C-alpha cells in the first residue's frame, strides 16, 4: 500500500512536470509578448528588451522551463540574466521556493497571490460539496427507494430542471431574488473564517448553493441509479432471505455498495472545484482562483495562468489518488501493491 | 382445508402418502408480473405437497417458473409489482397472508435458501464470517462470540478446512465450491425445516457439483430438513429427489415420485428432458436428442397446450392447439396432456424408451 502511494505520488509529480512544460509553451505560442505586458504602457524598445532579459523570456523554451522548475524546487533570483544581476546587485530579488514567478500585471509573486485566493475557493468548494452530498445523495436514495412514485418523479424532474439551467442563470436568479429583492440572505461576500465564522458562513451560503444546485442534480441521478442497481443485486436477495430487517438491509447491504461510485465521482468533482469555480466566483464577486483565472486570461498574465493551471492540476491529481485509496478502504476486493 | 376436486388430484402424487401432514402445501399458486408488454404469467395454477424430511426436485428449462416459485415461497415477491395468488401453506400457515414482520421472522429460520451463484449471492464487501454471524444473530439473541463459535462450527460441518482462519476471509478469497459450502452453512445455521436450493450447482465446476450434492444430502439426513431442489439438470434430481415436479411455461406438466418420472414418464416434455440427458450407461456414439424449439414467451403463451409447438405428438384432433390440458384423471399421477392415457403409455414404451 505504502509503495503504491509513493508510486502514485511520483507519477503525479511527473505529470505535473509535463504539464508545466506544456503550459510554459504558452509564452511562445501566444501572440502576446509577456515582456511587453510587464513593461507597462510607456515603454521603449530598449526597456522591453531589458525586461525580457530580466524575466528570462529571451531564453529558449527548454531553458525557461528548467529555470521555472528550478524556481519551484529551490527558488530563483531575478533578474534571470546573470549579466544584469552583476550590473545591479542591489536590484536582485530572491524568489523563494516554490517560486512560480511574478505576475506580469500586478508584479506580485504568483505563489503568494494564489495562496491568498486558495481559502476563498476552498471555502466555496467545500461548502458546496457538503450541500450537494447531503442533499443530492439523500434525495437520490429517497427517489431510488420510492422508484416510480410521484415523489421519485418530482425529485428527478426538479433536479433535471436545475441541471438544464446554466450556473450563471441559477446564480443570478438566486442573487436577485433571495438577496436583492426579498432580503432573505445577506449579500454574499467572503469573510475569512478566522475573522468571523458566522459571517463566513452567511457570505458563503448563496454562492455555495448556486454551485451545489448544479451538482445536486447530477448526484441525485447518479445515486439513484447506483442504489437501484445495488437493490437488484443477488446479495440483497440473500440478505432478505436471511430475514434481515429492512433497515439493516438498506444501510449495511445496499448503501455501502451503492455509494462506492458516488464517492469516486464526489472526490473527483471536489478536486476539480478546488481549482476554482469560475462562473460562480465571477457572479458573486468571490475573489478566488476561478475569478483570478478569468482575470489573468483577460490580461494575458501568463505566469499567473501557469500557476493556476498547476495548482488546479495538483488538486485533481491528489483527488484521484485519494479516491483510489478510499476505494480500497470500501471494497475489500481492491488491493494495491 | 377446502379445495376443489382437481386440486386434490393435483396434490396427490408428490410426497407419496397423505398420512403425514405436509410441511409445505402449495395450492393454485399464481405469480404474475404486469409489464408494459402484457402480463407475464411466470407461475400459473401450481400445486404440490412436500412432506417433512422429503426432497422435491423442480425441473424445467429457463423461464419455466422454477425460481419464481421458490422466491414466492420465500416471500421475495413482496413489495414488487408481482401479483401472487393462491396459497402457500407452511405447517398450516399461509405464508402469503402473514404480516411482513412475521414473514421476516420465518425467513432464514423456517425456510432458508441456497442460491445459484454464491459469488454474487454473498456480499462482496463483508467477510464470510460476518455474513454468517449476521444470519445467525437475526434469529438468535446471542453474543457475537457465541455466534462466532456457531459459525465456525457450521463452516467445519460443511467441510471448509481451517474454519477459524476462513472466518475472516472475503467471498472472493474462497473458491467456487467453498463459497457454495459457505452458502449452505449460512442456510443451515438456523436449523431450518425447509431448504430451497435454487440451481445450487449450476455455477460450479463439474468436479465440485457432486461434492455439493453429497453435502446437501448428508446434511439433510443430519438435520432432517425438507429440501426443494430447483434445477434444469435431471442428473441432479436423480441423485437427490424423492418427488419430481416438471414445469413448463409456468405450469406443472407432470409430477410424481422420482421412479415414475425417470422410468414411466407420461408427458412428452418429460420425455424430451430425459432424451436430452447425457448418460454414462449408453454408448458414446449415440447422440443426445435435444427438444426442438425454444421455451415459450410467458407473455404470449401458445394457445391450448403451451408445449404444442415443440411437441411431435400434438395434433389438432386431440385439441392440443386450442384446449389447455387439465390433469389427466386416467393417469395414476398428475400429467397435463391431451394424448389419451393408453396411447401415451404406448408411445413411451415403443418409441421413447428405446432411445433413452
Mean pLDDT across the stretch A256-272? 89
Q: What residue in B sits closest to A332 (Cα-Cα)? A: B125
Distance from C-alpha of A210 to C-alpha of A41, rounded to nearest angstrom? 39
> What is the side-by-side strand order in the sheet with B93-94?
B38-50, B24-35, B83-90, B93-94
User: Nearest CA to CA, how far is A97 from chain B (Å)?
Assistant: 45
Tell me what pLDDT residue B19 has: 63
Distance from C-alpha of B356 to C-alpha of B350, rounded to nearest angstrom? 11
- Is the Cβ pair B138, A243 closer than 8 Å? yes
Tell me what pLDDT residue B6 has: 43
Nine-digit cell string for B67: 425460481
Q: Is the pLDDT of residue A150 over 90?
A: yes
Q: Which of B107, B122, B172 sits opposite A241 (nearest CB)?
A: B107
pLDDT tens digits for range A128-146 = 999 999 999 999 999 999 9
Q: Which residues of A touch B186 (CB under 8 A)?
A: 238, 242
B65, B26 in Cβ contact below 8 A? no
Nine-digit cell string for A313: 492540476
- Is the Cβ pair A245, B104 closer than 8 Å? yes
Residue B111 — φ and ψ, nearest 5°? Answer: -125, 125
Q: Which residues of A touch B127 (CB under 8 A)?
A: 332
Divide the 356 residues of chain B into consecutive groups of 10 and give the mean pLDDT of each group: 41 50 92 91 92 93 88 89 92 92 92 90 94 94 94 92 94 91 92 91 83 88 91 84 92 92 91 82 72 84 90 88 88 90 89 80
**Helices A197-231 and A256-273: angle between axes, nearest 10 degrees:** 140
Tell me what pLDDT residue B138 has: 93
Nine-digit cell string for A48: 522591453
User: Nearest CA to CA, how far is A129 from chain B (Å)?
Assistant: 26
Q: Quote the ipTM score.
A: 0.83
Q: Which of A235, A260, A329 best tests the B interface by mutation, with the highest count of B CBs <10 A?
A: A235
DSSP state of A133: I
Q: Is the pLDDT of residue A154 over 90?
A: yes
* Bond from prior residue into A98 cis (ω within 30 degrees of 0): yes
Q: Which of A235, A243, A333 sits opposite B108 (nearest CB)?
A: A243
Q: What residue in B sits closest to A255 (Cα-Cα)? A: B125
Q: Which residues of B touch A234 (CB under 8 A)?
A: 115, 117, 120-121
User: Nearest CA to CA, how far is A221 from chain B (Å)?
Assistant: 22
Distance from C-alpha of B76 to C-alpha of B112, rounded to nearest angstrom? 12
Tell me what pLDDT residue B96 has: 92
Tell me what pLDDT residue B2 has: 39
* DSSP string for A173-241: HHIIIIIIIS--SPPP----TTT-HHHHHHHHHHHHHHHHHHHHHHHHHHHHHHHHHHHTSHHHHHHHH
Fold of the domain spanning A113-330: MetI-like fold (1.10.3720)
> What is the domain partition of chain A in residue ranges?
2-110, 113-330
User: For A290-313, b where at least 16 C-beta lie within 10 A, e where not — what string?
Assistant: bbbbeebeebbbbbbbbbbbbbbb
A149 touches chain B (CB under 8 A): no
Which residues numbered 227-286 in A keep a CB inside 8 Å of some CB on B? 233-235, 237-245, 252-253, 256-257
Task: Between B85 and A198, name the one with better pLDDT.
Answer: B85
Task: Between A36 and B143, name the one with better pLDDT.
Answer: B143
Nine-digit cell string for B191: 436449523
pLDDT tens digits for range A70-103 = 888 888 888 777 777 788 777 788 888 788 888 8
Q: What residue in A sits closest to B174 (Cα-Cα)? A: A333
Q: Which of B105, B121, B122 sits opposite A243 (nearest CB)?
A: B105
SS (H, E, C) B220-266: HHHHCCEEEEEECCHHHHHHHCCEEEEEECCEEEEEEEHHHHHHCCC
Query: Which CB contacts under 8 angstroms, 24+ apart, belong to A79-84?
Result: A79/A53, A79/A54, A79/A55, A80/A53, A80/A54, A80/A55, A80/A56, A81/A53, A81/A54, A81/A56, A84/A50, A84/A53, A84/A54
Q: Is the pLDDT of residue A302 over 80?
A: yes
A334 touches chain B (CB under 8 A): no
B219, B227 in Cβ contact below 8 A? no
| Out of A29-38, A194-203, B277-286, least confident range | B277-286
Tell me what pLDDT residue B43 has: 93
Tell me what pLDDT residue B284 has: 65
Q: Which residues of B touch A242 (CB under 8 A)?
A: 107-108, 112, 134-135, 138, 186
Amino acid at each position: 500500500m505504502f509503495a503504491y502511494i509513493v508510486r502514485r505520488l511520483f507519477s503525479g509529480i511527473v505529470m505535473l512536470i509535463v504539464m508545466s512544460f506544456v503550459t510554459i509553451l504558452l509564452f511562445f505560442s501566444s501572440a502576446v509578448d509577456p515582456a511587453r505586458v510587464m513593461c507597462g504602457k510607456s515603454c521603449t524598445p530598449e526597456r522591453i528588451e531589458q525586461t525580457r532579459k530580466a524575466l528570462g523570456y529571451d531564453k529558449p523554451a527548454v531553458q525557461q522551463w528548467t529555470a521555472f522548475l528550478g524556481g519551484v524546487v529551490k527558488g530563483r533570483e531575478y533578474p534571470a540574466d546573470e549579466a544584469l544581476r552583476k550590473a545591479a546587485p542591489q536590484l536582485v530579488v530572491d524568489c523563494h521556493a516554490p517560486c512560480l514567478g511574478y505576475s506580469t500585471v500586478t508584479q506580485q509573486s504568483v505563489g503568494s497571490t494564489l495562496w491568498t485566493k486558495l481559502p476563498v475557493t476552498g471555502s466555496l468548494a467545500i461548502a458546496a460539496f457538503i450541500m450537494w452530498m447531503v442533499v443530492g445523495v439523500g434525495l437520490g436514495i429517497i427517489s431510488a427507494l420510492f422508484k416510480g412514485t410521484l415523489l421519485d418523479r418530482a425529485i428527478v424532474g426538479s433536479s433535471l430542471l436545475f441541471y438544464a439551467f446554466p450556473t450563471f442563470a441559477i446564480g443570478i436568479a438566486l442573487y436577485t431574488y433571495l438577496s436583492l429583492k426579498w432580503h432573505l440572505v445577506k449579500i454574499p461576500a467572503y469573510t475569512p473564517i478566522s475573522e468571523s465564522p458566522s459571517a463566513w458562513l452567511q457570505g458563503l451560503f448563496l454562492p455555495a448553493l448556486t454551485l451545489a444546485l448544479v451538482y445536486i442534480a447530477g448526484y441525485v441521478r447518479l445515486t439513484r441509479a447506483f442504489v437501484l442497481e445495488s437493490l437488484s443485486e443477488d446479495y440483497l436477495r440473500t440478505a432478505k432471505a436471511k430475514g434481515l430487517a429492512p433497515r439493516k438491509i438498506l444501510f449495511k447491504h445496499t448503501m455501502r455498495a451503492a455509494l462506492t461510485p458516488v464517492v469516486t465521482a464526489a472526490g473527483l468533482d471536489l478536486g476539480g472545484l478546488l481549482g476554482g469555480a469560475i462562473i460562480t466566483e465571477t457572479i458573486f464577486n468571490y475573489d478566488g482562483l476561478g475569478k483570478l483565472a478569468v482575470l489573468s486570461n483577460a490580461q494575458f498574465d501568463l505566469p499567473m495562468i501557469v500557476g493556476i493551471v498547476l495548482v488546479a492540476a495538483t488538486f485533481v491529481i491528489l483527488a484521484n489518488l485519494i479516491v483510489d485509496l478510499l476505494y480500497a478502504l470500501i471494497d475489500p476486493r481492491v488491493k494495491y501493491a | 382445508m377446502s379445495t376443489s376436486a382437481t386440486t386434490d388430484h393435483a396434490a396427490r402424487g408428490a410426497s407419496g402418502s397423505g398420512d403425514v401432514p405436509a410441511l409445505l402445501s402449495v395450492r393454485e399458486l399464481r405469480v404474475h408480473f404486469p409489464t408494459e408488454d402484457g402480463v407475464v404469467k411466470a407461475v400459473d395454477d401450481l400445486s404440490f405437497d412436500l412432506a417433512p424430511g422429503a426432497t422435491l426436485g423442480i425441473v424445467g428449462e429457463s423461464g419455466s417458473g422454477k425460481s419464481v416459485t421458490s422466491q414466492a415461497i420465500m416471500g421475495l415477491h413482496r413489495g414488487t409489482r408481482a401479483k401472487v395468488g393462491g396459497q402457500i401453506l407452511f405447517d398450516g400457515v399461509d405464508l402469503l397472508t402473514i404480516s411482513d414482520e412475521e414473514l421476516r421472522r420465518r425467513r432464514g429460520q423456517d425456510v432458508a435458501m441456497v442460491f445459484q451463484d454464491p459469488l454474487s449471492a454473498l456480499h462482496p464487501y463483508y467477510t464470510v464470517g460476518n455474513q454468517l454471524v449476521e444470519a445467525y444473530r437475526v434469529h438468535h439473541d446471542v453474543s457475537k462470540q457465541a455466534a462466532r463459535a456457531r459459525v465456525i462450527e457450521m463452516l467445519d460441518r460443511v467441510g471448509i478446512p481451517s474454519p477459524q482462519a476462513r472466518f475472516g476471509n472475503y467471498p472472493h478469497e474462497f473458491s467456487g465450491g467453498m463459497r457454495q459450502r459457505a452458502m449452505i452453512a449460512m442456510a443451515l445455521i438456523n436449523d431450518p425445516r425447509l431448504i430451497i436450493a435454487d440451481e445450487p450447482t449450476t455455477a460450479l465446476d463439474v468436479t465440485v457439483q457432486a461434492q455439493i450434492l453429497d453435502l446437501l444430502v448428508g446434511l439433510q439426513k443430519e438435520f432432517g430438513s425438507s429440501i426443494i431442489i430447483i434445477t434444469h439438470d435431471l442428473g441432479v434430481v436423480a441423485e437427490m429427489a424423492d418427488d419430481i415436479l416438471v414445469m413448463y411455461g409456468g405450469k406443472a406438466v407432470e409430477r410424481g415420485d422420482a421412479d415414475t418420472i425417470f422410468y414411466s414418464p407420461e408427458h412428452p416434455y418429460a420425455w424430451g428432458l430425459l432424451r436430452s440427458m447425457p448418460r454414462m450407461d449408453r454408448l458414446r456414439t449415440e447422440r443426445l436428442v435435444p427438444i426442438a424449439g425454444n421455451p415459450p414467451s410467458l407473455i404470449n403463451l401458445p394457445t391450448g397446450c403451451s408445449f404444442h409447438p415443440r411437441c411431435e405428438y400434438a395434433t389438432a384432433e386431440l385439441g392440443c392447439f386450442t384446449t389447455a390440458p387439465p390433469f389427466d384423471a386416467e393417469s395414476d399421477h398428475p400429467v397435463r396432456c391431451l394424448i389419451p392415457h393408453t396411447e401415451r403409455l404406448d408411445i413411451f414404451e415403443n418409441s421413447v424408451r428405446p432411445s433413452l
